[in-house]
């Protein structure tokens, strides 16, 4: 009996020889289709390549009219070939002309052929073309023949991706791989960046496609799978996934895939059909991605990126690749494209070459976004599919204002954004001119514009932005970018550097705010929480683990020797938490004094108002603390019961609403009654329009990212605050009608010629 696998193996061996020969692209394609037709005893073999205008063009054929090459065309979705390209699924038909999608192209002369097998030419789940075989007789092609044709299609995909076929493209036309693509998502940090793609985890290019020893390749595959499973188990046990800002269930999905017998069986089958272990992973990954793209279940579709990451990890295991030298990938104008990444990973890239960050996932409060904001680079998130559509070196534009990304942009788009960058540079020059001018409204009211910080890279921004001080120093970032708990000496050194950089300007340190989504990989916390945002985090955690808080307080007290120390407590829910923290401070002061340490000249303790329960304790709160800072991000989340990282709710709720502004006005009025300073640090403060609303409800101190200070300062210097306050009060005091606060503020700004 004939060995069913012998035919495909012989074909793959011939293909390997063809790829090694020095041939022109057209001759190589012509010989490939002849070899396929001969090996599969098919009267026709044809290759269609997808162009950027969504047209499938016949690039090579054996059996059809040779004069139709580069002339025969099908639209995406037209005919059997167009259907395969649109669906990214193979078609195996014994009577093709009876299929409802069949379309006859008279120039090809294919009307006499009945059986039809077509497979998509896929790379990273993207359809680049279609490979077809046909016969006169009505036959069903065997599974091993389908597998062989899919394998050859993968090789052709690499030819397309490496540009081998570009010379065959007619002037004025481009292949689909180079067509412009635009993505819409979330704006996560302001700014515009023009540059070239640097994939955070560059796609590994498999060059060794065909195996010489099947058993040896199967053994390599088995060893790599074993190492992969061990590494995933290790990450799960150390909860490294949480440190990277991803959800733990992602790694659970990795573990499920890594142990899935069906997936492993497909990998082994591809190796037995003649591929190397690496090429088998590439092929199965591309096939799986194409299938999952068409699943309707959103959960399963979201698992695509999990599967891609897993396959890439397996490829790195097989090819012995460690972390690549990032600097070697960087152009002078690099834009990082990633599914997700950790805060520390972004800091590994050379800062002077970074022009932007594009994330397939990501939210405003992602750790990496916080770091990117400190580095003043534009960031967009929720850009689904951008990683698989990008290649290293592709031209790319990231628009952090509108939440858009343009990949391989057309020249007119690039020119428009280049002008936008020049305009922003001129605006930045104007903001720099405002840096040393008084931060006062048009009617002479002084406003403190503070900046948020958390890392050493933030400190030069204090002078450059002209901030009045640091209104929020996030001490937890030092913990998040470290592999172990920072020692007391390291904490003290950072805090001293911050205070020295600030000079005479005030600095407010927030005690370590971990828990929730800020889980440290080296800290064994409460385990899985059903709702971590409402769970064991911030002041709750540090009061339960007082050693953490004592070490930090001691470092702060020693660093601030001889000057004022301002510390605030995050996520305070009850006033007793303030008493407990103050008691720890008092004990540490007595301890340091006993050993003759140089202590701060004064100490001010504040609380962050993030939990709604404090709204019913405002008078008592204002009496108990030296200052209050409103954390508008968490407060808004808890007041509206809306997860701030949930993109489905991103456009449903806005802080620029009557209820939330009434709440904020209530807080500022309580501060005025008790002469307790009140500030706000959160996303609201970082844009001119929401910042205008904050001033209108009574805030005289707001804290924001350094890049936001210039635009906000330009706004407030044009602002007649007395008129705005009267308008806001009148609006918030009205009842029984809906008011569009944003439209109201825009109208006020236009009427009074206020810069926004």
Integer Cα distance of 498 and 113 in angstroms: 77
Instruction: Rank 23-37, 83-97, 512-526, 739-753 by mean pLDDT and report only the highest.
Output: 739-753
| Whether the model pTM is above 0.85 | no
User: What phi and psi, each to the nearest 5 degrees, are found at residue 74?
Assistant: -135, 145
- Residue 651's pLDDT band, with cuts at 50, 70 and 90, is low
In this model, does residue 451 exceed pLDDT 90?
A: yes
Pairing of strands 470-474, 564-569: unpaired
Token readout for 695 is 């001033």
- Residue 322's pLDDT band, with cuts at 50, 70 and 90, is very low
Q: pLDDT by residue (tens digit) across 160-171?
A: 776 667 667 766
In this model, does residue 615 exceed pLDDT 90?
A: yes
Q: pLDDT by residue (tens digit) across 325-346?
A: 445 556 678 999 988 776 656 7
Render 475-505 in DSSP notation, one character per residue: THHHHHTSSSPPPHHHHHHHHHHHHHHHTTS
How many Cα atoms are found within 13 Å in the side-chain-facing hemisphere of 67?
3
Mean pLDDT score, 490-499: 92
Q: pLDDT by residue (tens digit) across 664-709?
A: 999 999 999 999 999 999 889 988 999 999 999 999 999 998 888 9
In this model, does residue 302 exceed pLDDT 80?
A: no
In this model, does residue 499 exceed pLDDT 80?
A: yes
In this model, does residue 750 exceed pLDDT 50?
A: yes
Domains of the chain: 6-177 (3.30.450.40), 180-202+325-424 (3.50.30.10), 214-319 (1.10.274.10), 475-609 (3.20.20.60), 631-756 (3.20.20.60)
In this model, does residue 482 exceed pLDDT 80?
A: no
Q: pLDDT by residue (tens digit) across 171-209?
A: 666 666 667 888 888 888 888 999 999 888 655 667 677
Q: pLDDT by residue (tens digit) across 87-97?
A: 888 999 999 88
Integer Cα distance of 74 and 107 in angstroms: 12
In this model, does residue 2 exceed pLDDT 60?
A: no
- Residue 258's pLDDT band, with cuts at 50, 70 and 90, is low
Residue 4: predicted pLDDT = 44
Which three-class secondary structure state does DSSP give residue 114? coil
CA distances 363 to 186, 366, 387, 685, Å, are: 8, 5, 17, 18
Mean pLDDT score, 520-549: 79
User: What phi and psi, each to the nearest 5 degrees, are found at residue 165?
Assistant: -95, 0
Instruction: Rank 139-143, 158-162, 522-526, 558-562 by mean pLDDT and report only the highest.
Output: 558-562
Q: Strand 334-338's sheet: what is its strand order?
A: 181-184, 404-407, 395-399, 192-199, 334-338, 354-359, 379-381, 186-189
In this model, does residue 245 exceed pLDDT 50?
A: no
Q: pLDDT by residue (tens digit) across 8-17?
A: 677 777 877 8
Mean pLDDT (the chain) is 83
Residue 238: predicted pLDDT = 46
Judged by average pLDDT, the poorest of 495-509, 524-538, 561-575 is 524-538
In this model, does residue 520 exceed pLDDT 80?
A: no
Residue 324: predicted pLDDT = 47
For the chain, the straight-line distance linking the first and the last C-alpha, in angstroms and rounded, comes to: 80
Residue 342: predicted pLDDT = 62
Integer Cα distance of 703 and 608 in angstroms: 13
Residue 614: predicted pLDDT = 96
Pairing of strands 404-407, 181-184: antiparallel
CA distances 562 to 557, 600, 650, Å, are: 10, 5, 46
- Residue 713's pLDDT band, with cuts at 50, 70 and 90, is very high
User: What phi and psi, each to the nearest 5 degrees, are found at residue 752?
Assistant: -105, 15
Residue 600: predicted pLDDT = 95
In this model, does residue 244 exceed pLDDT 50?
A: no
Residue 253: predicted pLDDT = 52
In this model, does residue 144 exceed pLDDT 60?
A: yes
C-beta pairs of 246-250 under 8 Å, 24+ apart in sequence: 246/340, 246/361, 248/528, 250/306
Integer Cα distance of 585 and 727 in angstroms: 44
């Amino acid at each position: 009996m004939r060995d069913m696998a012998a035919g495909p193996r012989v074909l793959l061996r011939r293909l390997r020889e063809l790829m090694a020969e020095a041939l022109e692209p057209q001759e190589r394609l012509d010989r490939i289709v002849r070899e396929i037709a001969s090996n599969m005893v098919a009267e026709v073999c044809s290759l269609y390549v997808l162009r950027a205008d969504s047209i499938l063009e016949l690039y090579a054929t054996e059996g059809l009219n040779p004069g139709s090459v580069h002339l025969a065309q099908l639209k995406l979705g037209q005919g059997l070939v167009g259907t395969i390209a649109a669906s990214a699924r193979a078609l195996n038909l014994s009577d093709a002309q009876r299929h409802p999608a069949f379309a006859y192209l008279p120039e090809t002369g294919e009307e006499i052929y009945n059986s039809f097998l077509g497979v998509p030419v896929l790379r990273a789940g993207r359809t680049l073309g279609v490979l077809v075989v046909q016969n006169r007789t009505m036959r069903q092609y065997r599974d091993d023949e389908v597998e062989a044709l899919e394998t050859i299609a993968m090789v052709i995909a690499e030819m397309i991706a490496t540009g081998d076929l570009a010379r065959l493209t007619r002037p004025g036309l481009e292949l689909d791989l180079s067509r412009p693509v635009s993505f819409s998502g979330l704006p996560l940090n302001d700014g515009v960046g023009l540059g070239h793609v640097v994939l955070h985890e560059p796609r590994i290019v498999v060059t060794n496609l065909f195996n010489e020893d099947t058993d040896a390749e199967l053994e390599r595959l088995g060893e790599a799978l074993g190492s992969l499973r061990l590494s995933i188990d290790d990450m799960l046990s150390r909860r490294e996934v949480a440190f990277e800002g991803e959800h733990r269930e992602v790694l659970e999905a990795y573990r499920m895939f890594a142990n899935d017998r069906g997936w492993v069986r497909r990998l082994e089958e591809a190796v037995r059909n003649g591929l190397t272990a690496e090429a088998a992973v590439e092929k199965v990954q591309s096939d799986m991605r194409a299938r999952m793209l068409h699943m309707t279940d959103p959960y399963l579709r979201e698992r695509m990126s999990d599967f891609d990451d897993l396959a890439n990890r397996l490829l790195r295991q097989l090819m012995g690749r460690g972390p690549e030298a990032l600097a070697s990938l960087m152009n002078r104008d690099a834009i990082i494209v990633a599914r997700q990444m950790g805060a520390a990973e972004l800091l590994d890239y050379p800062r002077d070459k970074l022009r932007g960050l594009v994330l397939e996932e990501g939210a405003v409060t992602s750790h990496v976004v916080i770091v990117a904001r400190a580095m003043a680079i534009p960031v967009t998130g929720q850009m689904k599919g951008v990683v698989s559509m990008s290649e290293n070196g592709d031209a790319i534009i990231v628009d952090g204002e509108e939440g858009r990304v343009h990949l391989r942009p057309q020249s007119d788009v690039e020119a428009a954004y280049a002008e936008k960058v020049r305009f922003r540079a001129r605006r930045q020059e104007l903001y720099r001119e405002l840096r040393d001018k008084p931060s006062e409204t048009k009617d002479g009211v002084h406003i403190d514009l503070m900046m948020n910080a958390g890392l050493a890279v933030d400190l030069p921004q204090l002078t450059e932005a002209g901030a009045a001080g640091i209104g929020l120093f996030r001490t937890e970032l030092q913990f998040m970018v470290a592999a172990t708990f920072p020692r007391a000496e390291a904490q003290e050194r950072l805090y001293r550097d911050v205070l020295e950089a600030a000079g005479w300007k005030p600095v407010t340190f927030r005690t370590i705010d971990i828990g929730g989504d800020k889980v440290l990989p080296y800290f064994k916390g409460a385990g899985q929480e059903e709702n971590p945002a409402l769970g064991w985090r911030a002041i709750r955690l540090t009061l339960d683990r007082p050693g953490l808080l004592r070490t930090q307080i001691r470092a702060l007290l020693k660093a601030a020797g001889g000057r004022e120390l301002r510390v605030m407590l995050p996520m305070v829910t009850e006033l007793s938490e303030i008493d407990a923290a103050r008691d720890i401070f008092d004990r540490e002061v007595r301890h340091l004094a006993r050993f003759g340490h140089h202590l701060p000249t004064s100490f001010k303790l504040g609380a962050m108002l993030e939990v709604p329960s404090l709204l019913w304790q405002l008078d008592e709160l204002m009496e108990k603390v030296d200052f209050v800072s409103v954390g508008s991000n968490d407060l808004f989340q808890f007041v509206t019961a809306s997860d701030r990282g949930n993109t489905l709710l991103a456009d449903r709720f806005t802080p620029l609403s009557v209820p939330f502004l009434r709440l904020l006005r209530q807080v500022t009025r309580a501060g005025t009654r008790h002469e307790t300073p009140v500030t706000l640090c959160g996303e609201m403060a970082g844009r001119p329009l929401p910042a205008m609303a904050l001033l209108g409800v009574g805030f005289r101190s707001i804290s924001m990212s350094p890049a936001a200070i210039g635009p906000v300062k330009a706004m407030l210097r044009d602002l007649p605050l007395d008129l705005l306050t009267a308008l806001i009060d009148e609006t918030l005091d009205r009842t029984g009608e809906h008011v569009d606060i944003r439209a109201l503020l825009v109208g006020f700004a236009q009427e009074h010629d206020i810069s926004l």
